[in-house]
Structure 1
């Protein structure tokens, strides 16, 4: 029998909320996975039973995200932070430059790592505007021979998100989608490579998903350590070395949950509804709450806002904690408040936060 546990209103930016049905199923299967007499964590990654889990997760991700059949899906380790290095190591040759669109701290980190590998440039930036918006397509400046154009699809710290993506022609488009993958349908065929840490929308921390267009392997450097070559992981179906098996199992269970929820189209509808509950509380507060992102660039996943003073923000966060809300502090680099309403955060949590925000305003205006 499953133990009944208290569930917090979890707005953590990552690792973040997981679907309760997934956690409950993992609890049921933890000791004896599918009659094996072992936990999935104890299975050999070379066993038929684990390979079934592994390949099912790949198949489900392709189905749910509309990934073209020929694309490769990899399960790697090292987080998005390792991808900041692997991307230029593989795809930034000495005779080319790579363009980076600057929309926040994670784009800055990706650019800094690429600078260690080769020549890079800022294809656009909204830094001077405190990263309050996403650049317009006509602001993107890059040449036809650019090695690749890199963007961050959702910016957790500043609460901005791309609503659509540019068609870059022969220039490969690469995206860090760590914090909004699967939150809505995306035309994956626009991208040469997508990478995403799992700990926001896909599962627990420890797994990094890479979605790779096959022709990119022809462009990739061959003069790299084995584990840093995408070709190594493609050739071995992400089983060159021991993968994070439990994390991949959990990722697969999250994908099954996404399917039962109606897929990415239904999740987008729910995510808009959830985010709008909180944005409406901000917009109707007569300035008591101030959103950071411009309306046209607002994130569905990370709602960032300030109050009228740091003192009031501290009181807001302290009172919210007493009410059972977790993870509402803004990132340490910018302060303020942030509600991360990822796929697994239920509508009830967003409604409860909205009600608390209105009540707090009434009591402290």
Structure 2
């Protein structure tokens, strides 16, 4: 990828250039194996080193306690919408869901197939905020409490870890802000994330699960979604997504070289402040609908023109693309513009976008 292109895709998303270059060489021959990294047997010593290294990077970066298992599974975040209740719902038969956007809404709908789902707060008319804690209704007998840390479609992000009743496991979908900030893993029962947004390519989902939550799945739980079976087999119950796991290991090694999660957090704050600054200084020409306290550092969404003018937004997207600012179209369900600024997006990428936004404003503001 050339320096003249900035790729703001929400996922599969940009990968660090130096990681791509290394992977390019390994596609033909991995180290001294004489075969491609994609051809390695998942039972081989060489792949054992790859998956163990990837797990080690996860544990080191997140400071994962010893009583947690790290799993590499298939099915994406959507697969975990079912895996979570299939593994945890048996505790009490009911679960609490915080629905703050499209992905948590889909997760709650899926979970309702396996038990009673309680919405912690009433359904929101628009996904632009996180309701005040005083409005939450948490069930102390819930099998778990579920939330999505960052909603990629609507650009809503929790800037804190929700407090839940003592003894109730907290489950979090971190797919789109995974490894972008330090996390106290001990506050969670399960953390998961699809790799294709912040830590790799599509095809693998990383699950971090506390050991005491293993071993009590619902009878209908498929073996491939059973955390206990996957943990016992070290993610090798079936053929895992070998190449995708390798990419995760390499991206996380890059994160470590760059300064770890503290540095990723510093950068994400810097990048998002730049973009929101242009939006807030535009006197309404650009508009972000999300409450300031819930604005995402990963997915900056906005409309162009008062109320969002489709023709103006189409021009914005096409003119941006002509300057190498790619994949800025908002999700089809909400429209508008979305700039996804995950770890691999540099400050220079964001500066280029900000400069374009200012220029576009001057040329189009009435």
Counterpart-to-counterpart distance in 1, 2:133 and 2:161:
8
SS of the counterpart of 1:26?
helix
Counterpart-to-counterpart distance in 2, 1:114 and 1:152:
14
Q: Is there any run of 5+ residues in structure 1 with no aligned partner, and where? A: none
Q: Go from structure 1 to structure 2 and tell me whether the alpha carbon gap of 1:231 and 1:94 turns closer, same or farther (over 3 Å shift).
A: closer
- Partner residue of 2:170 out of 165, 168, 173: 173
Give the stretch that moved more between structures: 246-255 or 308-317. 308-317
Counterpart-to-counterpart distance in 2, 1:111 and 1:182:
24
- Partner residue of 1:144 out of 140, 144, 147: 140
Counterpart-to-counterpart distance in 1, 2:333 and 2:12:
18
The equivalent of 1:344 in structure 2 is 344
Is 2:104 the counterpart of 1:107? yes
Q: Go from structure 1 to structure 2 and tell me whether the alpha carbon gap of 1:233 and 1:94 turns closer, same or farther (over 3 Å shift).
A: closer
SS of the counterpart of 2:121?
strand
Q: Go from structure 1 to structure 2 and tell me whether the alpha carbon gap of 1:86 and 1:7 turns closer, same or farther (over 3 Å shift).
A: farther
The equivalent of 1:154 in structure 2 is 150
The equivalent of 2:268 in structure 1 is 271
- Partner residue of 2:222 out of 225, 245, 248: 225
SS of the counterpart of 1:171?
coil
Q: Go from structure 1 to structure 2 and tell me whether the alpha carbon gap of 1:47 and 1:311 turns closer, same or farther (over 3 Å shift).
A: same
SS of the counterpart of 1:256?
helix
The equivalent of 2:302 in structure 1 is 305
The equivalent of 1:318 in structure 2 is 318
Alignment of 1:103-142 (within 5 A): 103-125=100-122, 127-128=124-125, 130-142=126-138
The equivalent of 1:32 in structure 2 is 29
TM-aligned CA deviation for residue 28 of structure 1:
2.0
SS of the counterpart of 1:205?
coil
The equivalent of 1:190 in structure 2 is 187
Counterpart-to-counterpart distance in 1, 2:272 and 2:33:
42
Deviations 1:24-53 (A, max 9, x none): 111122211111101111111111111001
Counterpart-to-counterpart distance in 2, 1:316 and 1:109:
31
The equivalent of 2:281 in structure 1 is 284
Q: Go from structure 1 to structure 2 and tell me whether the alpha carbon gap of 1:94 and 1:21 turns closer, same or farther (over 3 Å shift).
A: closer
Q: Is there any run of 5+ residues in structure 2 with no aligned partner, and where? A: none
Is 2:75 the counterpart of 1:78? yes
CA-based RMSD: 1.4
Deviations 1:180-235 (A, max 9, x none): 01011111111100111000011000000000000101543355332221111000
TM-score by length of 1: 0.96
TM-aligned CA deviation for residue 270 of structure 1:
0.6
Give the stretch that moved more between structures: 220-229 or 263-272. 220-229
SS of the counterpart of 2:90?
coil
SS of the counterpart of 2:97?
strand
Counterpart-to-counterpart distance in 2, 1:125 and 1:152:
16
Q: Go from structure 1 to structure 2 and tell me whether the alpha carbon gap of 1:273 and 1:95 turns closer, same or farther (over 3 Å shift).
A: closer
Counterpart-to-counterpart distance in 2, 1:261 and 1:270:
11
Count of residues in Structure 1 that have an aligned counterpart in Structure 2: 361
TM-aligned CA deviation for residue 310 of structure 1:
1.8
The equivalent of 2:212 in structure 1 is 215
TM-score by length of 2: 0.96
Counterpart-to-counterpart distance in 1, 2:91 and 2:293:
38
**Equivalent pair of 1:96/1:145 in contact (CA under 8 Å):** no
Counterpart-to-counterpart distance in 1, 2:215 and 2:236:
21
**Equivalent pair of 1:159/1:302 in contact (CA under 8 Å):** yes
Q: Go from structure 1 to structure 2 and tell me whether the alpha carbon gap of 1:62 and 1:7 turns closer, same or farther (over 3 Å shift).
A: farther
TM-aligned CA deviation for residue 96 of structure 1:
2.7
**Equivalent pair of 1:125/1:135 in contact (CA under 8 Å):** no
Q: Which runs of 4+ in 1 moved over 2 A?
A: 4-8, 93-96, 135-140, 218-225
